[in-house]
Amino acid sequence: MWKRFIAVLIPVLLGLACVFLLPKIQGSFEAAQLNRCMANLKKIGMALRAYHDSCGSFPPVATYDNRGKAMLSWRILLLPYLDEDSLYQRFDLSDSWDGENNLELLSEMPKVFRCPFDPKAESFMTSYLAVSGQETVFPPQRCVRIQEVKDGPSLTIAIIEIASSRIPWTKPWDVAFEDASPSPRSLPSPRNWGARSVLLVDGTTRIVSDATDPFVWRSLLTIHGSEALAEDDF
């Protein structure tokens, strides 16, 4: 009788354990995902600052040929500051991202450029994009110095996390300000609870909810809009 009782009791106890523990396990897993992605952004932020210290400005959003055609992504220019100098040396900076030589390097994307928990991103697709526009940190065909970030480095977004961007990491293709600026909901959210991690110009990372006020969001994307923002606004 006791054996039969125990045989019935054990599945019930296991079921109850799943009910009570699964949300905590899932929560811990999601927290680990978020921390890994934010750690990648922090490394990118350190590389951006090192590039600025070395070159006097942040990198351009892309390299260009003499006709103004975008050739390679800003991510390529950061390689020497991410301990990837040997990979950087193998790129032909005079050719486009899909040129014969450079295309062969597509599969060698450093892990820092992709969130490891982006389920639909292939190994050469990046999760981290710049917002490019005349009033952003990454305007077309121009480099921005930190002194130009009048709104404050802690209140200006440099890089955002995008779910399933479908953008090869070497390709000079990011997010246009016009597409990103309406609200965070304008972009695919990498979190099922409606939020994304962002890198600020000062190198810190933050979580921005998709419910963030559109005015606050647009203000965070520009470098000198003179909006009266505080860090607790987002």
Calculate the alpha carbon distances from 169 to 74, 93, 111, 166, 202 in Å.
9, 15, 11, 9, 23
**How large is the average pLDDT for residues 182-201?**
85
Q: What amino acid occupies position 89?
A: Q
Q: Confidence band (pLDDT; 50, 70, 90) for 193?
A: confident
On whether the CB atoms of residues 156 and 146 are closer than 8 A, the answer is: no
d(CA 102, CA 185): 34
Q: Confidence band (pLDDT; 50, 70, 90) for 195?
A: confident
DSSP 8-state code for residue 168:
B
Q: What amino acid occupies position 232?
A: D
- pLDDT given at position 23: 38
Note the pLDDT tens digit of each residue in 8-29: 444 443 444 444 433 333 345 5
Tokens 């959210």 belong to residue = 189
Residue 181 has which token pair?
């600026």
- pLDDT given at position 34: 73
- pLDDT given at position 81: 98
End-to-end CA distance of the chain: 61
Cβ neighbors of 200 (< 8 A, separation 6 or more) are 45, 153, 154, 155, 156, 157, 158, 206
Residue 164 has which token pair?
């399933």
On whether the CB atoms of residues 34 and 207 are closer than 8 A, the answer is: yes
As a whole number, the mean pLDDT across the chain is 85
Residue % of the chain over a pLDDT of 90: 64
User: CB-hemisphere CA count at 13 Å for 120?
Assistant: 9
Q: Which of 172, 162, 169, 154 is nearest to 60 (CA)?
A: 172
- pLDDT given at position 97: 97
For the CA atoms of 187, 192, 193, 199, what is the dihedral angle to 10 degrees? Answer: -50
Number of neighbours of residue 209 by Cβ within 10 angstroms? 16
- pLDDT given at position 190: 76
Q: Confidence band (pLDDT; 50, 70, 90) for 91?
A: very high
Q: Which of 167, 93, 155 is nearest to 129 (CA)?
A: 167
